[in-house]
Amino acid sequence: MNVLVVEDDPRITDVLEYALKADGYEVQTAQRGREGIEIAKRCLPNLIVLDVGLPDIDGFEVCRSVRTFSDVPIIFLTSRSDEIDRVVGLEIGGDDYVVKPFSPRELLARIKAIRRRNDRPTAAAKSESDKPLRYGPITIDPSKFLIHCQGREVVLTAQEFKLLELLVRHPGRVFTREQVLNRAWGEGGLVADRTIDVHIKSLRKKFGKFEFIETVRGIGYRAREL
């Protein structure tokens, strides 16, 4: 697995590079945001660890740019601990958020959690799950990772895609936050309820006027029956 670390502090980069390589990962590094974008385009890493406070453009802008051509998992690494920064990072396509100072062991655990929830299903399950799925004006092609709604393509992150597929495969069924976590994120995922809420909000925004995700107060979410 190839990890791209975009971080301008060489001390932190050295620590991350050592910890990741010791755990069996291949590592590429960049000290500036634009450099990180170019490496991501050229080398297609499996995961990006992205600092928010970069010297040229901030990590949020890097994330927005990467999301135009890749759904690679992105973990933000930053000294900003305000909730609004965490929410913004998740809303624009980040998958996780680690606040400095941090333990390399914690970061490795979060990377492994993302890998577990992105594991491909078995061959039999893959054959069934790869069939195109229609839900109202939404068409999902899991084999090509494509979503269309009312004649336009909708670009989702990997986690948004899993959440959408979970809900629309079971219209009318209410999923608690714990069930969403286990089914879409995978058991053991280091995800808070707030993270799930942010992904739901992002899905609603991306599908615009087609309002199909319902909140069941005090319980969770469901895709309405059509």
Q: Per-residue pLDDT for the chain (226 aa), expressed as one digit of tens each? A: 899 999 999 999 999 999 999 999 999 999 999 999 999 988 889 999 999 989 999 999 999 999 888 889 999 988 766 667 777 777 888 888 888 888 899 899 989 888 887 765 544 444 556 778 999 999 999 888 889 998 899 998 888 888 999 999 888 888 888 778 777 766 545 556 677 888 899 999 999 889 999 998 888 899 998 8
Q: Are residues 136 and 110 in the same domain?
A: no
**Per DSSP, what are the bridge partners of residue 223?**
213
Rounded Cα–Cα distance for residues 5 and 49 (Å): 5
Q: Are residues 110 and 49 in the same domain?
A: yes
Q: Give pLDDT, residue 95.
A: 87
Rounded Cα–Cα distance for residues 49 and 34 (Å): 14
Q: Are residues 96 and 133 in the same domain?
A: no
Q: Give pLDDT, residue 203.
A: 92
Taking CA atoms, 158 is separated from 144, 146, 164, 194, in Å, by 12, 11, 10, 18
Instruction: Please name the amino acid found at residue 127.
Output: S
Q: Give pLDDT, residue 179.
A: 79
Q: Which CATH number does the domain housing residue 26 bear?
A: 3.40.50.2300
Quickly list H helices, 92-182: 104-117, 123-129, 158-168, 177-180
Rounded Cα–Cα distance for residues 71 and 82 (Å): 25
Q: Give pLDDT, residue 123.
A: 46
Its pTM stands at 0.57
Q: Which domain holds residue 10?
A: 2-117
Rounded (5°) CA angle 204-74-49: 155
Cis omega before residue 101 (within 30°)? yes
Domain boundary among 94, 117, 140: 117
Domain boundary among 66, 86, 117: 117
Domain boundary among 73, 95, 117: 117
Q: Are residues 108 and 127 in the same domain?
A: no
**Structural domain tally of the chain?**
2
Q: Are residues 113 and 190 in the same domain?
A: no
Q: Are residues 107 and 135 in the same domain?
A: no
Give the rounded percent of residues in the chain with a pLDDT score beyond 70: 88
